[in-house]
Each structure stands twice: as C-alpha cells, then as structure tokens.
Chain A
C-alpha cells in the first residue's frame, strides 16, 4: 500500500513539474523545471510521515551531493550535444552514468566518513 502511495505521489508531482516545463517559454527558462525538486518533494513528504525529521534531514544532506552530480550530468550532456553533435535522446540516457559515478564519488569523498 505504501509503495502505491509513493508511486502515485511521485508520478503526480513529477508530471506537474514536467507540464510546467512544457508550457513555459523561452526554452532555457523552461529547462529550469527539468531540475525541479519533484522526486525530493514526494519522497521527503512520505519520509517525514513515516520516519521523522532526522531521517529526512539526512536524506536532504545527501541530496546536496546528488544535485552537484546532476549539474555535472547536464554539463556533460551539453558538451556532447553541442561540441560532438551527438543526438539528444541517447546522450541524455547514456550520460546518466556520469550522474551515478559523480554521486557515488562525491558521497565517498564527502559523506562516507561522517
């Protein structure tokens, strides 16, 4: 039941932010909503209800590291698409490994010993 709630809330919030990105112009402004805290809003809301504030604050601390990885991910995508002219769809999917490696690397550097 909890998984269904999580799925529905995540789906609704992500869809709302994505729709905002669709209707706003210019394109670079709409792009801001590609990095909206949609998953964070859904997850933190449910975490606060189930696990409490301390647990949610720990997740948010890691989220800061995940955001830096997100920045590195989009910069890598821009670099590939503009400089090497790679198509957008495979580039944005393939570069998710940059997010994964950056997030885990930064976690290891900054958070693993805390």
Chain B
C-alpha cells in the first residue's frame, strides 16, 4: 500500500484545533516535569508515554467524518468510529516502537552523546513503527490471497 501526503487535510483543521493540540502538548509536558519533580523520575517517566494527543486526534477524525456525511445528507454514520479504530490500530504499532525508543535511551544514553542518542532513538522509533505497519499490511494481503 502506498503512503501518501494529503496536505488538503491540514486546511480542514480550524485554528482552535491547532490551539487545542498545542495547549494539550504543552500542558502534559509541564505536568510530566512537575510529577517528576514531586515523585521522582521513576514515576515521572511513566508520563513520557502518556497518550497526550491520541484522544484529541480521535475526536477530530470522528467529527470530520460525521461532518462529511452530514453535508451529504446522511445524519448517522459509523465511518467516524471505524476511521478512529484504524487510527488506533496504527497507534498500537507506534506504541510498540515507543517502547524501543525508551529502551535505547535507557540503555545507551549514559555512555554516548545525548543529542545523537535522542536522534537515533527517534530514527529507530520511526523505522520500527513503519516496519511493523508494513509487516501487518503484508500479513493482511497474504491472508486475502490464500
């Protein structure tokens, strides 16, 4: 399956959608810092993998699908829920790769350059997430061919 850029979808978002994400992202980053300060890095670190933007992204996807159907004169649709379920499936694969990101920082940060390790961990997250997604798609393709 081909991966595509759809820049038009950015125009569907309103200013308050961007602001909501910005504020949510900022707030959870501040909260993580405060939790780490009060309870230590072991508890604070848990929040580095908090689903910060997933709920707001899911809400937006559902709303856009519903709006699309309403414009077409269809008052009720399950498409939004199914689109979010697809998005969540991707997030599940991303979460596995997120654990690899944490693992690399945990095991190798102490003995290597910090900026290089952050960059490397990010590259591994992306590569592993894409690999899991590709394998999943191949599995679906092969199971349909059988």
Q: Which residues of A contact B (CB under 8 A)?
A: 3, 6-15, 17-19, 21-48, 51, 53-71, 73-75, 77-78, 81-82, 85-89, 91-93, 96, 99, 103-104, 107, 111, 114
Highest count of chain B CB atoms <10 Å: which of A17, A25, A35, A96: A35
17 further A-B pairs in the complex, CB-CB below 8 A; given A67-B95, A74-B54: A22-B9, A25-B3, A25-B5, A31-B93, A34-B51, A34-B94, A35-B91, A37-B121, A38-B25, A39-B50, A40-B98, A43-B33, A55-B41, A60-B106, A81-B82, A91-B58, A96-B55
Q: Is B48 in contact with A60, judged by CB distance below 8 angstroms? A: yes
A-B contacts counted at CB < 8 A amount to: 324
**What is the 8 Å Cβ interface bit string for chain B, positions 31-45, against chain A (1 contact, 0 not)?**
011001000011111
Bound Cα distance A32, B43 (Å): 25
A35, B24: Cβ atoms under 8 Å?
Answer: no
* 30 residue pairs from A and B, CB less than 8 Å apart: A10-B26, A14-B22, A15-B25, A18-B56, A22-B10, A28-B90, A32-B130, A33-B90, A34-B58, A35-B90, A35-B97, A40-B98, A42-B25, A43-B48, A51-B41, A57-B110, A58-B41, A60-B45, A63-B105, A65-B46, A66-B50, A67-B95, A67-B101, A70-B95, A73-B51, A81-B85, A87-B62, A88-B58, A92-B59, A96-B51
Q: Is the CB of B27 within 8 A of A63?
A: no
**A17 adjacent to B53 (CB under 8 Å):** yes
A100 to chain B, nearest CB (A): 9
| Shortest distance from the beta carbon of B45 to any chain A beta carbon, whole Å | 3
User: Which residues 69-89 of B sit at the A interface, judged by CB distance below 8 A?
Assistant: 78, 80-89
Chain A residues within an 8 Å CB radius of B103: 60, 64
Nearest-CB distance from A42 to chain B (Å)? 5
A7/B95 in contact, CB under 8 A: no
